[in-house]
Amino acid sequence: MITPDAILGVLGGGQLGRMFCLAARRMGYRVWVLDPDPQSPAGALADRHLQAGYDDAEALREMRAHCAAVTTEFENVPAQTLEYFDSHIPVRPSPQAVAIARDRIREKRFIREQGLATAPFCVVSNAAELEAACAELRLPAILKTAQLGYDGKGQYVVADAQQARAAFRALQETPCVLEERIDLAREISVVLARSVDGEVATYPVGQNLHVNGILDTTRVPANIPAEVATQATDMALQLATAMDYCGVLAVEIFHATSGQLLINEMAPRPHNSGHYTLDATLTSQFEQQVRLLCGLPPGSTRLLSPAVMVNLLGDLWEQGTPAWERLLCHAEAKLHLYGKQRARPGRKMGHYTCLGEDLGAATHLAETIRSELSSFI
């Protein structure tokens, strides 16, 4: 086990790395962040910010020499960087697990290999495969890049083959998947923590609402039957076990109107839909990330209060700094800002979480605050 005062390394310096830094430093660890951005939100709170690229040989050597273990903030760190660290110090999650989750083609095939369902899809690597996919699948569908897509970026809804061709050209004919659109009852996610010894703690299933491809709200517990929550959790556990996963894993799942559960994608790290855990569970997903990286068992995931998490996007800054006093005057609302210097439309700048005696009360408070902040614009 890696104990406090050791140095932990984080590859990536965004808000997830920032919240990892906060959890680690509270627990007595030191943190080094590798990120090329001089205004990195995580770098601002780290004991040391190595402002260099993820393939910078000197920075990697220095990190390897001083850090007891390394984790990632996002899945697009170069594979060779993860493999370099893995040959010298613990890397959790493993490079093999990250490699599966970072590529939609490999990810979907892996999910199917475990006997689990996804939306119908076809791999598209060239124009001929695109034509065949349009003929095979039910349109409209979604064309998604195999790598580097997030928050609705790198994907297009296509109603017919002509739109699919235009979308493929817009994506520079990079490898993609064409995926059928599903008639959804709701979107849900499972966040779990799995230790190096295979001990697992799962959080309550969250119910998510996306707007323009970006997560808007997560409500916990999800408004689903207990048997659906159990099935979703079991599916996530099956994936984690198959990868011999160590770390925090989030699994996004479509609950179709037919009742079927279809796995959308995995995130090998803390997840936006798990941010409510900072305020509403005994152990946050970021403390879990620290614990599991250090070879410790997972902490309790007991839900202390129903909660609603709402993302704050850069659009809210259109007229200047939002009137935070409108939010902070509510005793059961918690504000989290990510320390980003520039607000842009669609950019995640922070979130707030509302607690309540029941989910109805938390939802009412969340929407009241949304209205109060929106009236500022």
Question: pLDDT at position 147, please?
Answer: 86
CATH of the domain at 242: 3.30.470.20
Question: For the residues 53-74, what does the mean pLDDT come to?
Answer: 97
Same domain, 13 and 155: no
Same domain, 240 and 369: yes
Same domain, 143 and 85: no
Q: In terms of residue numbers, what domain contains 52?
A: 7-91
Question: For the residues 126-138, what does the mean pLDDT come to?
Answer: 94
Confidence band for 310, pLDDT divided at 50, 70 and 90 = very high
CATH of the domain at 51: 3.40.50.20
Question: pLDDT at position 375, please?
Answer: 78
Same domain, 225 and 367: yes
Q: Evaluate whether residue 2 is within a structural domain.
A: no
Closest CA to 147 of 281, 265, 53, 66: 265
25 with 319: CB under 8 angstroms? no
Question: pLDDT at position 373, please?
Answer: 93
Cα angle 19, 23, 24 (rounded to 5 degrees) comes to 115
Distance, CA of 287 to CA of 26 (rounded, Å): 9
Distance, CA of 190 to CA of 80 (rounded, Å): 29
Q: What is the pLDDT of residues 204-236, one digit of tens each?
A: 999 999 998 899 999 999 999 999 999 999 999
Question: pLDDT at position 153, please?
Answer: 75
Percent of the chain with pLDDT over 90: 94
Confidence band for 374, pLDDT divided at 50, 70 and 90 = confident
Distance, CA of 305 to CA of 277 (rounded, Å): 10
Instruction: Give the N- to C-terminal CA distance of the chain in Å, as an integer.
Output: 50
Same domain, 16 and 76: yes
Same domain, 152 and 199: no
Distance, CA of 201 to CA of 132 (rounded, Å): 43
Question: pLDDT at position 111, please?
Answer: 97
Same domain, 192 and 174: no
Q: What is the pLDDT of residues 74-125, one digit of tens each?
A: 998 999 999 999 999 999 999 999 999 999 999 999 999 999 999 999 999 9
Last residue of a domain, one of 147, 180, 213: 180
Closest CA to 312 of 352, 280, 279: 352
Same domain, 333 and 259: yes
- pTM of the complete model: 0.95
Tokens of 240: 């984690």
Question: pLDDT at position 151, please?
Answer: 62
Say what the alpha-carbon torsion angle 361, 364, 369, 371 is, to the nearest 10 degrees. Answer: -170
Question: pLDDT at position 231, please?
Answer: 98
Q: Evaluate whether residue 114 is within a structural domain.
A: no
234's CB contacts (< 8 A; 6+ apart) are none
Q: What is the pLDDT of residues 362-371, one digit of tens each?
A: 999 999 999 9
